[in-house]
């Protein structure tokens, strides 16, 4: 199954998008097929706190294309990347992007969104962990390390995809075990 993983970096306190990062991934293999990342100019400069957190400078935002230009390019890439319009994110980033796209006059393609953070927290709770904290904590719970720079949209999307591929392999194993031993409560036809 192929899925696009999305992550956004947003300015504060406005929550306007200043960076979009995404990867198209084959969940079965964990292979990243395509990467997409772009800083954008939402019409305001990043706050000092956001620059300190993300590393995205006022100069980068000033020189970047407008949000409308970047989000149009993103939706074109998303529609053509072979993931069947499946868009997963750590949290509600897909809602934020859709709302800001519409506000900018950019149409949002048909998509099937999924809040992977919710699923990872349920899985973490079921495996004896505490469903608190961010992506790095979730990775650590499953014996994985965050790779790259935290709060970089592309790195965050890649790490979310890595975690999803790991959890997918666990679910696939459980399904295969269930299939191997039969489904309890289902009687065979005679």
pLDDT band at 123 (very low <50, low <70, confident <90, very high): confident
Query: Does domain 2-167 sit in CATH 1.10.10.10?
Result: no
What is the model's pLDDT at position 181? Answer: 63
Mean pLDDT, the chain, integer: 90
Sheet with 32-39, side-by-side order of all strands: 32-39, 17-26, 2-10, 86-89, 112-115
With 70 as the cut, is the pLDDT of residue 174 above it? no
Instruction: Name the β-bridge partners of 22.
Output: 6, 36
Q: Which residue do the tokens 């031993």 mark?
A: 181
d(CA 40, CA 16): 10
Ramachandran sector of residue 46 (left: φ over 0; alpha: ψ -120 to 50; beta: rest): beta
**Angle at CA of residue 189, ends 186 and 190, nearest 5°:** 140
For the stretch 159-173, pLDDT in tens is: 999 999 998 887 765
d(CA 168, CA 176): 12
Ramachandran sector of residue 133 (left: φ over 0; alpha: ψ -120 to 50; beta: rest): left
d(CA 127, CA 171): 12
Give every CB contact of residue 82 below 8 A, 6+ residues apart in sequence.
Answer: 2, 24, 33
Instruction: Name the β-bridge partners of 38.
Output: 20
Domain coordinates in residue numbering, the chain? 2-167
What is the model's pLDDT at position 173? Answer: 58
With 90 as the cut, is the pLDDT of residue 177 above it? no
With 50 as the cut, is the pLDDT of residue 2 above it? yes
What is the model's pLDDT at position 42? Answer: 97
Query: What percent of the chain has pLDDT above 70?
Result: 89
What is the model's pLDDT at position 97? Answer: 98
pLDDT band at 1 (very low <50, low <70, confident <90, very high): confident
Ramachandran sector of residue 148 (left: φ over 0; alpha: ψ -120 to 50; beta: rest): left
For the stretch 47-98, pLDDT in tens is: 999 999 999 999 999 999 999 999 999 999 999 998 989 999 999 999 999 9
What is the model's pLDDT at position 179? Answer: 57
With 50 as the cut, is the pLDDT of residue 40 above it? yes
């Amino acid at each position: 199954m192929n899925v696009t993983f999305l992550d956004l970096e947003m300015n504060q306190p406005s929550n306007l998008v200043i960076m979009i990062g995404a990867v198209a991934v084959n969940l079965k293999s964990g292979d990243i097929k395509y990467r997409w990342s772009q800083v954008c100019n939402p019409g305001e400069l990043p706050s000092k706190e956001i620059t300190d957190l993300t590393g995205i400078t006022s100069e980068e935002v000033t020189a970047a294309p407008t949000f409308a230009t970047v989000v149009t390019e993103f939706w074109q890439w998303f529609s053509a990347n072979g993931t069947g319009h499946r868009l997963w994110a750590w949290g509600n980033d897909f809602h934020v992007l859709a709302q800001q796209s519409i506000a900018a006059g950019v149409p949002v393609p048909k998509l099937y969104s999924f809040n992977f953070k919710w699923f990872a927290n349920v899985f973490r709770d079921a495996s004896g962990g505490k469903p608190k904290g961010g992506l790095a904590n979730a990775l650590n719970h499953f014996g994985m390390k965050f790779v790259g720079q935290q709060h970089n949209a592309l790195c965050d999307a890649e790490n979310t995809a890595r975690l999803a591929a790991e959890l997918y392999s666990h679910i696939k194993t459980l399904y295969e075990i269930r299939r191997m031993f039969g489904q309890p409560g289902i009687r065979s036809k005679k």
